[in-house]
């Protein structure tokens, strides 16, 4: 009978296949009567020699014949000397091969595992095992046992087995106790488990559906989850209504409002969240976000009010500097330079080609002339590199500048530069400020010594930052900070159809091709297939052959990851075309992605711990690779299970279990391309992309990434929808309100009425 649940037991003779991500395994089991069977199913970390009792069904597989399909299983550690020797020789413990395994099993017999766990020092009586090695074996064995128990626990509770390593790292042997004690800890940012999954575990352990732990966890989860969309706070009404949905009981009854209010008040009392009446509503914050917003608003206000006097004639000096520079500044540029000399804080904003960089150079001339020390910084490596080239002096990423070194227990960045150890400079000039979120801004301001001036440069029409807040737009629209908006496109920049079209798009006009010899082309294609074929053809042949661009100079951008001609499909096709499989190129599959020697890849989350060395000076080392860094795979070792990526002049090593941090980057989303520029950009816009991604600022951001050539491949209706959709996803942020609040009262009333 195929469907009847049955049990079989036996010893693992061979592990034919094992997927470390999801625990799926194919094993050969020898039953007690010597019969060999093949068993499949979710059986994490199975080792040779283990004794298992499997419960499941017999099935017949079309190619492999009869198999036992395991529903659940119990394991018993091997009890015979041979079983123990087999188990230990399976490679489960580093440094124990078959010979040593046999010696250990012969010596300690059935007691072997107890000795390894509790008295590992006794192992050193065996020749070939030093006291230190014995200690290491004991440590590894205890870790293996805990990890295995943890994996089984996670699987029994339908939780992702990949969590085992993270939980073990954090709680060691007591991980299961911690999880059972408070299953909702799994929903924290660190473990990122769905509320539903943690909730199922909690309810199955008998947690009442209206328990305080549960209701409070639901409210905090809703807040945290929504903050991930770029808000700094969530209005209380909206928060509680959404949390109520999450917390409904199995019959669909929503919790009473009084229960929610009571627990909300508890969370406030315990300092887990903050509720403040601002922007005419009860705004609910997580503590760090509230602190960041208040701190930034206070700091900027004070900085903006700082005014400097000079004992020489400032106008004369500026005029001399202008004469020496061989640039005749436009009136607004001149005003920006003068304000940079006078005030503690100035914002310089404008679209492409409006002279921002030229103005920054003018500011630098002034600061140099009066002997002020300036540091230049930008949010991404590419933006910093560009700034450094244009200003002819060093520019750092903000993370480098603040010396981000490692993460603390909560997975947050920790900066060595802070209030206790501030930067050593008189002026900080920050470029690409549209990308900076409120939390990073707080970190930067905290590291600025008192009296340090700040110049913020950016284009407010670019996409908002990935992280929380709307820093640049809020600052500008508050009218509380000295802001110069440059809007004149200089003649040289006018010649570029990329610049002209970017400005046209911003005014709500359609872009037009810039002629045969121009730098802007539109190729009309409708379906995702046609668009992708054209993109591949452009990358492989047309742009290299006709324009002389090397594949490294070309970047494909697209709004989406998964939808029509999204990065996932495009990357697969581009990889096949530009870096096809080859016997000399090792490759490693991770999930759905194949990483091959020579591939272009991108780091997709901040990793503060990863160690890199300089390509030409391996002695020079550092840590940290950041979301959006793009590099090339220059080495893959299948034996050592690692992969080396070159990011500019840095070489970073990834073990195979870290490959979730990398993605192919022949094509990247427009969001990920923020702050980077490329010689040639191809923007793929087929029909079929969801409306949420068809906005003007996505198209504008995409186009302004191109330095020399832009090719738009797609459907004209799609481009038209984008040009005419000037909506921005609304973000709850009260920075503007906080800045206005600190204005004289009449001005504030006027602003609030607007
Ligand atoms: N006052 C000026 N007089 C004449 N040309 C100028 C002036 N200011 C800037 N330009 C020229 O205009 C072009 C664009 O200037 P710049 O690179 O400073 O602008 P930007 O705003 O930084 O542009 P992008 O953001 O596109 O890099 C450059 O060729 C620059 O030399």
pLDDT digits (tens, 9 = 90+) for 102-138: 999 999 998 999 899 889 999 999 988 999 999 999 9
pLDDT reading at 606 higher than 80:
no
Q: How far is the centre of ligand 1, averaged over its atoms, from the C-alpha of 332 (Å)?
A: 13
Ligand 1, atom 14: closest residue by C-alpha? 353
pLDDT band, very low/low/confident/very high, at 1 (cuts 50, 70, 90): very low
Our mutation pick for probing the ligand 1 site, out of 493, 679, 704, counting the most ligand atoms within 8 A of Cβ, is 493
pLDDT at 608 over 80: no
- Residue 675 buriedness (CB in 10 A; 0-12 / 13-18 / 19+): buried
Which residue minimizes the CA distance to atom 16 of ligand 1?
A: 355
Rg, the chain, Cα only: 30
**Residue 258: alpha-carbon gap to chain centroid:** 38
Strand positions, DSSP E, 310-418: 345-350, 374-378, 395-397, 404-407, 413-415
350 C-alpha to ligand 1 centroid (Å)? 11
| Ligand 1 near 367 CB (within 6 A) | no
157-210 pLDDT, tens digit each: 888 777 887 888 889 889 999 999 999 999 887 888 999 999 999 999 999 999
User: Is 677's C-beta closer than 6 angstroms to any atom of ligand 1?
Assistant: no
Q: Which residues are annotated as a binding site for ATP?
A: 353-357
Q: At what angle do helices 212-227 and 236-246 cross, to 10 degrees?
A: 120
707 lines ligand 1 (CB under 6 A): no
- Which of 358, 363, 432, 678 gets mutated to test ligand 1 (max ligand atoms within 8 A of its CB)? 358
Q: Name the packing angle between helices 528-537 and 567-578 (round to 10°).
A: 40
Closest residue to atom 8 of ligand 1, CA basis:
355
Q: Which atom of ligand 1 is nearest to the CA of 390?
A: 17
Show binding-site residues: 353-357
**What pLDDT band is residue 156 in, cutting at 50, 70 and 90?**
confident
Output the six-digit token pair for 98. Answer: 């078959």
What are the C-alpha distances in Å from 588 to residues 299, 466, 552, 630? 49, 30, 22, 19
Distance CA 576, CA 536 (A): 10
330 CB near ligand 1 (under 6 Å)? yes
For residue 357 and ligand 1, the question of a CB distance below 6 A is answered with yes
CA dihedral 519, 520, 524, 529 (to 10 degrees): 70
Integer CA distances (angstroms), 64 to 46, 48, 61, 68, 388, in order: 21, 21, 5, 11, 61
CA 601 – CA 256 distance, rounded (Å): 50
**Ligand 1 centroid to residue 354 C-alpha, Å:** 6
CA–CA dist 671, 465 (Å, integer)? 9
Query: Using a 6 Å cutoff on CB, does residue 353 contact ligand 1?
Result: yes
Lowest-confidence pick of 258-262, 328-332, 741-745: 741-745
CA of 201 to the centre of ligand 1 (A): 60
Which helix (DSSP H) or strand (DSSP E) does residue 307 occupy? none
The answer to whether 60 touches 54, Cβ cutoff 8 Å, is no
Inter-CA distances, 727 with 462, 463, 635, 737, Å:
13, 12, 44, 21
Provide the sign of the torsion angle of the four alpha carbons 95, 100, 101, 106, taken in this order. negative
**ipTM exceeding cut-off 0.95 for this assembly:** yes
For ligand 1, the distance from its centroid to the CA atom of residue 491, given in whole angstroms, is 9
How far apart are alpha carbons 20 and 172 in whole angstroms? 20
Please name every residue paired with 30 in a beta bridge, in sequence order, or none if there are none. 11, 36
Question: Is 732 in a helix, a strand, or coil?
Answer: coil
Q: Which atom, in ligand 1's list, is nearest to the CA of 350?
A: 21
**pLDDT for 281:** 93
Q: Is 488 in the pocket of ligand 1 (CB under 6 A)?
A: no
CA–CA gap between residue 444 and residue 396 (Å, rounded):
13
Is 85 in contact with 35 (CB distance < 8 Å)?
Answer: no
Is the shortest distance between the CB of 80 and ligand 1 below 6 Å?
Answer: no
Whether the pLDDT of residue 567 is over 50: the answer is yes
Q: Cα(733)–Cα(110) distance, rounded to whole angstroms? A: 64
Closest CA to 679 of 547, 506, 532: 547
Encoded tokens for 193? 């488990």
Nearest CA to ligand 1 atom 23: 353
Q: Cα of 430 to ligand 1 centre, how many Å?
A: 17
Confirm or reject: Cβ of 125 under 6 Å from ligand 1. Answer: no
Nearest CA to ligand 1 atom 19: 355
Name which of 439, 400, 405, 407 is nearest 423 in CA terms. 400
Q: Report residue 438: phi and psi, to 5°.
A: -65, -30
Query: What was the pLDDT predicted at 34?
Result: 85
The answer, yes or no, to whether residue 535 has pLDDT greater than 50, is yes
Predicted confidence (pLDDT) at residue 84 exceeds the cutoff of 50: yes
Cα 352 to ligand 1 centroid, rounded to whole Å: 8
CA atoms of 393 and 388, how far apart (whole Å): 5
Mean pLDDT, rounded, of the chain:
89
The CA-CA-CA angle for residues 749, 750, 754, to 5°, reads 115
| Largest interatomic CA distance in the chain | 101
Pocket lining: 726 vs ligand 1, CB cutoff 6 Å: no
* Contact between 101 and 115 (Cβ < 8 Å): no
CA-proximal residue: ligand 1, atom 4 (nearest): 490
* H/E segment holding residue 158: none
Ligand 1 near 492 CB (within 6 A): yes
Rounded to an integer, the average pLDDT of 209-213 is 92
Indicate whether residue 628 lines ligand 1 (CB < 6 A).
no
Q: Which residues contact 521 (CB under 8 A, 6 or more apart)?
A: 513, 514, 709, 710, 711, 712
- The answer to whether the CB of 327 is under 6 A from ligand 1 is yes
State what percent of residues in the chain have pLDDT above 90: 59
Alpha helix locations (H) across 228-344? 236-246, 257-269, 287-305, 314-325, 331-342
Compute the average pLDDT of residues 353-376.
96
Pairing of strands 453-458, 427-430: parallel
- Tell me the two tokens of residue 583: 């016997």
Dihedral of CA 524/722/700/539: which sign?
negative
Q: What is the mean pLDDT of residues 533-540?
A: 96
d(CA 92, CA 20): 14
Between the CA of 629 and the centroid of ligand 1 the distance, in Å, is 27
- Confidence band of 750 (pLDDT split at 50, 70, 90): low
Ligand 1 pocket member 358 (CB < 6 A): yes
Q: What is the DSSP letter of 524?
A: E
Phi then psi dihedrals of residue 46, to 5 deg: -75, 140
Q: What sign has the CA pseudo-torsion 397, 398, 404, 407?
A: negative
Residue 515 has pLDDT above 60, yes or no: no
- Rounded to the nearest angstrom, the distance between the alpha carbon of 355 and the centre of ligand 1 is 3
């Amino acid at each position: 009978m195929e469907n009847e649940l049955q049990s079989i037991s036996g010893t693992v003779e061979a592990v034919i296949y094992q997927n470390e991500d999801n625990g799926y395994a194919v094993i050969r089991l020898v039953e007690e009567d010597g019969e060999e069977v093949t068993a499949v199913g979710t059986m994490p970390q199975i080792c040779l020699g283990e004794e298992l009792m499997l419960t499941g069904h017999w099935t017949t597989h079309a190619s492999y014949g009869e198999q036992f399909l395991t529903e659940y299983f119990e394991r018993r550690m091997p009890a015979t000397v041979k079983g123990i020797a087999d188990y230990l020789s399976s490679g489960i413990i580093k440094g124990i091969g078959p010979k040593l395994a046999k010696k250990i099993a012969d010596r300690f017999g059935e007691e072997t595992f107890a000795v390894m766990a509790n008295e590992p020092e006794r192992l050193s009586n065996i020749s070939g095992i030093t006291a230190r090695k014995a200690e290491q074996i004991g440590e590894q064995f205890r870790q293996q046992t805990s990890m295995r128990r943890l994996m089984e626990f996670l699987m029994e509770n339908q939780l992702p087995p990949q969590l085992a390593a993270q939980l073990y790292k954090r709680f060691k042997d007591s991980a299961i106790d911690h999880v059972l004690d408070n299953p909702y800890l799994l929903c924290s940012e660190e473990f990122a488990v769905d509320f539903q999954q943690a909730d199922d575990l909690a309810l199955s352990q008998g947690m009442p559906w209206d328990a305080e732990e549960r209701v409070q966890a639901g409210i905090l989860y809703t807040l945290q989850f929504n903050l991930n969309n770029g808000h700094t706070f969530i209005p209380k009404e909206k928060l509680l209504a959404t949390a109520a949905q999450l917390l409904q009981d199995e019959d669909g009854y929503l919790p009473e409002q009084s229960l929610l209010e009571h627990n909300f008040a508890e969370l406030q009392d315990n300092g887990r969240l903050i509720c403040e009446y601002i922007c005419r509503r009860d705004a609910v914050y997580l503590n760090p976000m509230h602190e960041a917003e208040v701190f930034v608003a206070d700091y900027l206000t004070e900085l903006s009010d700082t005014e400097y006097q000079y004992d020489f004639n400032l106008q004369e000096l500026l005029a001399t500097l202008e004469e020496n520079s061989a640039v005749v500044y436009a009136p607004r540029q001149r005003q920006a330079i003068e304000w940079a000399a006078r005030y503690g804080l100035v914002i310089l904003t404008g679209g492409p080609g409006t002279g921002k960089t030229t103005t920054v150079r003018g500011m630098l001339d002034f600061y140099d002339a009066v002997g002020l020390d300036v540091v230049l910084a930008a949010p991404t490596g590419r933006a910093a590199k560009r700034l450094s080239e244009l200003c002819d002096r060093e520019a750092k990423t903000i993370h480098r500048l603040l010396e981000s070194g490692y993460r603390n227990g909560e997975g947050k960045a920790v900066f060595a530069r802070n209030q206790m150890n501030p930067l050593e400079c008189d002026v900080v000039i920050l470029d690409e400020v549209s990308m900076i979120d409120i939390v990073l801004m707080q970190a930067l301001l905290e590291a600025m010594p008192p009296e340090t001036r700040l110049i913020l440069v950016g284009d407010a029409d670019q996409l908002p930052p990935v992280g929380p807040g709307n820093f640049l737009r809020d600052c500008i629209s508050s009218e509380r900070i000295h802001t110069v908006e440059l809007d004149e496109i200089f003649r040289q920049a006018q010649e570029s159809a990329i610049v002209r079209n970017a400005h046209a798009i911003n005014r709500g006009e359609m872009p037009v091709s810039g002629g045969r010899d121009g730098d802007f082309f539109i190729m009309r294609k409708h379906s995702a297939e046609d668009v992708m074929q054209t993109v591949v053809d452009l990358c492989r042949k047309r742009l290299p052959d006709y324009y002389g661009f090397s594949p490294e100079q070309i970047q494909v951008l697209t709004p989406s990851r998964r939808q029509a001609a999204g990065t996932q499909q495009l990357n697969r096709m581009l990889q096949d075309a530009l870096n096809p499989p080859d016997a000399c190129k090792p490759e490693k599959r991770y999930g759905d992605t194949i990483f091959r020697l020579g591939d272009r890849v991108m780091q997709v989350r901040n990793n503060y711990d990863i160690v890199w060395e300089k390509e030409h000076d391996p002695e020079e080392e550092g840590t940290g690779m950041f979301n959006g860094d793009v590099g090339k795979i220059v080495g893959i070792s299948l034996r050592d299970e690692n992969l080396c990526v070159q990011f500019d002049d840095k070489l970073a090593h990834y073990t195979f279990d870290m490959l979730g941090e990398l993605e192919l980057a022949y094509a990247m989303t427009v969001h990920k391309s923020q702050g980077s520029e490329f010689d040639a950009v191809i923007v793929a816009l087929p029909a079929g992309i969801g409306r949420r991604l068809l906005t003007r600022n996505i198209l504008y951001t995409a186009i302004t990434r191109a330095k020399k050539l832009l090719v738009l491949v797609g459907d004209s209706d799609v481009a038209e929808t984008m040009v005419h959709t000037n909506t921005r996803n609304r973000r709850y942020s009260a920075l503007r309100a906080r800045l206005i609040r600190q204005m004289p009262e009449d001005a504030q009333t006027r602003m609030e009425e607007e």
